[in-house]
Amino acid sequence: MISKEAESGQKISSSVFEITGMHCSSCVSRVEKNLLSLKGVEKASINLVTGLARIEYDSQITGPAELKKVIENTGYKAKLINEIEQKSISETTKKTSKNYLTEIKLIVSVILTVIVVFISMGKMAGLELPLSDFHRNILLAAISLPVFVWCGWEFHAGAISSALRGSTDMNTLISIGTSAAYFFSLIQIIFPVEIGANTSTMFDSSVTIITIILIGRYIEKRATQLAGKELFKIVSMRPPLAHIEINGQIEDIPAQELGPGDIVVVHPGEKVPLDGIIIEGSGSIDESLVTGESMPVSKGIGETVTGGTTNVSGLFKMRVTKKAGDTFLSRVVRAVQEAQASKPQIGKIADKIASVFVPAVLGISIFTFLMWMIAGGENRFPTGFTTAISVLVIACPCALGLATPAAISVAVGRAAKMGVFIRRGEILEKLPRADIFAFDKTGTLTISRPRVFHVQTIQNYKPSSLLTLAASVESGSSHPFSIAINHEAKKIGQNFLEAKSIESIPGKGMSAIIDNEWVHVGSEKYMEMKNIQINELMGDSLRFQEEGKSVVFVAHNSKAIGFIVFEDPIREEAPRVISEIKKGGFRTLLLSGDSENACKFVQRKLGIDEYHARLLPDEKSKIIAEIQKSGKKVAMIGDGINDAPALAIASSGSIAISTSENITLENADAGLKGTSLEAITKFLNLSKKTIRVIKQNFFWAFIYNIIAIPVAGGILYPFTGIILDPIISACAMSLSSISVVLSSLRLKWFNLA
């Protein structure tokens, strides 16, 4: 559950529930409507494919218990999910007794249906049983009863539950259609009446409809599980057991029981159990399922490792830094859950239709029967009865209900595989509609780790000697420039000297006594404070600063001896990413707190359309707000920390980038962790293709129902003499739902380059 303070002072919270028993968009629409009618509920969004519901509410007015009660009073089972990863792998991958019962019902239904159809159609094939019509119909009724009552009970129970609550759904249509056929056939046995030229029963239609729809739902369920399986891939990344060191002894305990401070041993080929820091040894870490990067990363003492990644080679000990619920993996799972439960604006079309779809189909079915009774001639009753049942079973609100969530579930999983973790599914719809892509500089377009680019000295002073002095002064500092200096000095094999009487002014520089002489390292202003002249160096230093680089001066014994130039390297792929975005017709904007020269250099290097420099975090959001007031839509890509206000206000979606395990998703619609920026262009292409697939799904679902319902009603009969058999109608309905899911699964294999 995630909470945030609303501007009004309300405490707006978000919870995710797992709902079971829903089968169509009517079910979804009814649950959402009832949830929204509860006081304090701000938003309710349900994904039919995953069964996940994301509900936002004022926690001062209502809470999870009340939400669960509303869902269950609507006729469905609900379970609050704080951490889907807490489910054991066996629960998500192994068959349960309920799964086996479903398969047994399906097998029984198929076998008995084949027997019923054989007996019913045997006469046509010359294989009629030596029985009278009466005894044959009694036998058909007996064999059909288990299929109608036991195998088809989920339809009847659902219809009854809906009726008791004054509503209808897909189960209503199936139950009424199969019940009408079955009970009509019973009446024909007890009170055989010749209706026109037809006195046959419809047991075969009743059981075949049930069997076909059960098969369709089974295939649909398997397909939808495939659509959402990326979430369970992420869940299964964490190993069930961990090797913990206790008093020098190694014991195996459940990874879930680990806590901050525990020492864990990770062998080659094993998964890292939780987030932590390496304290001994080293390893080559495969982070592909977390970051999308295929090449293993070498990590040693002091470096962080992420739970769920794989130690390809090497052996190391790590200290756990996060409990199970706070790890990167846990945050990703929560983000994916929320994304799969969310619903883009386009998906709300189905909600509006679903509220009237089933009642409308019932009305059309009754109208069809009455019209045939009035104008159907000699066979008006059997024809009217058959077409009325066909209308009921051919109508498919499932296809409409699956059009959006199936595509969203596949897209969220595909994005996660690329290292883009979606929190709000709406970004898939909003991102392609952006007019401007705004980028932060440091940590987004650059790697955010300064490195020494050049060392310049005066007179005959050696660059290596200057680095040694600077590194000795800065050895105890954690400033990025200090780390870069120390790294460069170590790289060229310099030994640090003993520094005494260390002085430091944050943001300006440091001083220390080395070999009884003062050494100063710092900015131009710091040198002025120390009364050190740097005029001789200013010309060359300005040249580097105009290229967007940073300069730190070094003085020895009150005399400037040179300067160190730092660069924050532009990501190798950044030029390609900006170019691809501009080719898509989008404008690009750079928003940075860095200097004018640094921003101008990056703008020129990458071909960015416009830039704003020396901005505070709130100033970035103000610029975006002003642009959006003019009617333009802005998508923001930033580091998720100091860019939080800008990420939160972007109207066309926001992506937070992080190169550490501390990815921030609270203020962004999606997060990109430690992977190439090219994932952004791939994600943009995925968004475009997802919306295209959703629109295609809607088109074919609409076309199917618009054509199928009149055909089932007999509209072609005056021209072709064709009356659609209810069995054919049931096949068409099942295929319609399956086709929507299969259409959505295409997103798993689209080329996004």
Of the candidates 569, 551, 554, 567, the one whose C-alpha atom is nearest the C-alpha of residue 463 is 554
Instruction: Round to whole Å and give the CA distance between 287 and 296.
Output: 7
Q: Count of CB atoms within 10 A of residue 720's CB?
A: 8
Of the candidates 681, 664, 686, 684, the one whose C-alpha atom is nearest the C-alpha of residue 673 is 664
Q: Count of CB atoms within 10 A of residue 571's CB?
A: 18
3-state DSSP assignment of residue 259: coil
Containing 74, the helix (H) or strand (E) segment is none
Alpha-carbon torsion (364, 369, 372, 374), positive or negative: negative
Strand 310-313 relative to strand 517-522, pairing: unpaired
Instruction: Round to whole Å and give the CA distance between 244 and 17.
Output: 34
Helix axes 397-418, 348-375, angle to 10 degrees: 160
| Residue of 58, 204, 440, 594 marked catalytic | 440
Are 615 and 594 within 8 A, CB to CB? Answer: no
Strand 436-439 relative to strand 634-638, pairing: parallel
- The amino acid occupying position 475 is S
Instruction: Round to whole Å and give the CA distance between 195 and 198.
Output: 6
Helix axes 726-745, 203-227, angle to 10 degrees: 0
Q: Count of CB atoms within 10 A of residue 225's CB?
A: 14
What are all long-range contacts of 523-531, with beta carbons under 8 Å and residues at least 24 apart? Answer: 523/552, 523/553, 524/551, 524/553, 526/553, 527/553, 527/555, 527/560, 529/505, 530/555, 530/558, 531/558
Is 639 part of the annotated catalytic residue set?
no
Of the candidates 587, 593, 547, 553, the one whose C-alpha atom is nearest the C-alpha of residue 570 is 547
Are 643 and 619 within 8 A, CB to CB? Answer: no
Strand 283-286 relative to strand 310-313, pairing: antiparallel
**Strand-pair partners of 278:** 318
Catalytic residues: 440
